[in-house]
Amino acid sequence: MPLVSIVVPCYNEEPVLPMFLEECGSVVADMHSSQGLDFELVFVDDGSKDGTLAVLRQAVPVGDYCAIRWVSFSRNFGKEAALYAGLSAARGDYVVLMDADMQDPPALLPEMFERMQRTGCDCVATRRATRQGEPPVRSFLSRSFYSLINSISNVEFVSGERDFRLMRRQVVDAILSLGERNRFTKGLYGWVGFTTEWIAYDNVERGAGKTKWNLFGLFRYALDGIAGFSTLPLQISSVGSLLLFFIFVVAVVLIAIRRLVFGDPVAGWASTACIILFVGSLQLFCLGILGQYLAKTYLETKERPLFIVKEASDEG
């Protein structure tokens, strides 16, 4: 029987976990009998300070077709790290990423599966149909972020996309093969490619507990995304430096001509100005070159694979 891993990152989710286990349990039971699937729930306790781990220890599987496994971090490493740990631990032929707070409704799972079987796609991803119920400032900033990052990065980001997605084993292996430390999973999905189907659903309120994100946290997250998937800021500063270098060189030439034509009414001005411009332009020139190499080195240090093969004629 095909195995489905459901990966659930949890940070201080004690109040909502019993609800999640119950709801997920019933969806899993249905899918086991109707679609013949086996399951494992892989929880990642991201250094919770409440009773999350105790709840996980005591969690009882709904049946022999659904194992419960968990990993617990030594401290809070953040959701991206939790997702990575969960993906590494998952053994399924299919893997689902799902939040513990019921904002990714487990009830949507059968539809996601059905869509994957029907279309033969590699991923079924979800996004919010509307931003209703979200503070206007947050919506505005979030929209601006998506349009900015889409214009400066060659990976596609979908506005309102959630981490809630179903992937085939091949996609999970591709994501795990990206060795970078600064992980921005929403960009990695786009980077590895594969065919993706989208399902939109209305925003769901948290089952219990409260969100771990504040505006500042989201801002830092956005910067991570930009730094991880675009070297444009570095390019701007390095091209800007080279541009200034040329302007300064022209200025030096103009000052020299002026000196020769009109003489030197303010003694020493021309030579002083030339020295300042010359040294300044030399520094900018070097900075520009440094920026180019730094951008390349940055991309190299990520050790992303050069390509990802989806199919080949001679697969053994």
Q: Is 132 a residue that touches ligand UDP (CB under 6 A)?
A: no
Q: Is 79 a residue that touches ligand UDP (CB under 6 A)?
A: yes
Annotate each residue in 171-200 with x if it binds ligand UDP (CB under 6 A) or - if it does not, as one string: ------------------------------
Q: Is 139 a residue that touches Mg ion (CB under 5 A)?
A: no
Q: Is 14 a residue that touches Mg ion (CB under 5 A)?
A: no
- The least CB distance from residue 100 to Mg ion, in Å, is 8
Residue 35 three-state SS: helix
Quote the CA–CA distance of 5 and 169 in Å, as a whole number. Answer: 10
- The least CB distance from residue 302 to Mg ion, in Å, is 28
Quote the CA–CA distance of 17 and 68 in Å, as a whole number. Answer: 13
Contact 169, 239 (CB under 8 A): no
* H or E element at residue 141: helix 136-152
Q: Which residues have a Cβ under 8 Å from the Cβ of 120 and sit 6 or more positions away? A: 195
Q: Give me the residues paired with residue 174 across strands.
A: none
Of 61 and 160, nearer to ligand UDP (C-beta) is 160
Q: Is 38 a residue that touches Mg ion (CB under 5 A)?
A: no
Q: Is 86 a residue that touches ligand UDP (CB under 6 A)?
A: no
Residue position matching structure tokens 């507990």: 209
* H or E element at residue 148: helix 136-152
Q: Which residues have a Cβ under 8 Å from the Cβ of 115 and sit 6 or more positions away? A: 121, 124, 197, 199
Region near ligand UDP per CB under 6 A, out of 117-125, 209-217, 238-246, 255-263: 209-217
For ligand UDP, the binding residues in 34-63 under the rule CB under 6 A are 46
Q: Is 219 a residue that touches ligand UDP (CB under 6 A)?
A: no
Contact pick of 35, 76, 170, 235 for ligand UDP (by CB under 6 A): 76
Region near Mg ion per CB under 5 A, out of 29-37, 80-88, 92-100, 139-147: 92-100
Of 22 and 114, nearer to ligand UDP (C-beta) is 22
Distances (CA, A) of 92 to 2, 81, 148, 247: 8, 19, 36, 60
Q: Are strands 94-97 and 161-168 parallel, antiparallel or unpaired?
A: antiparallel
Of 213 and 293, nearer to ligand UDP (C-beta) is 213
Which tokens sit at 35?
């679609």
Contact pick of 5, 6, 13, 190 for ligand UDP (by CB under 6 A): 13
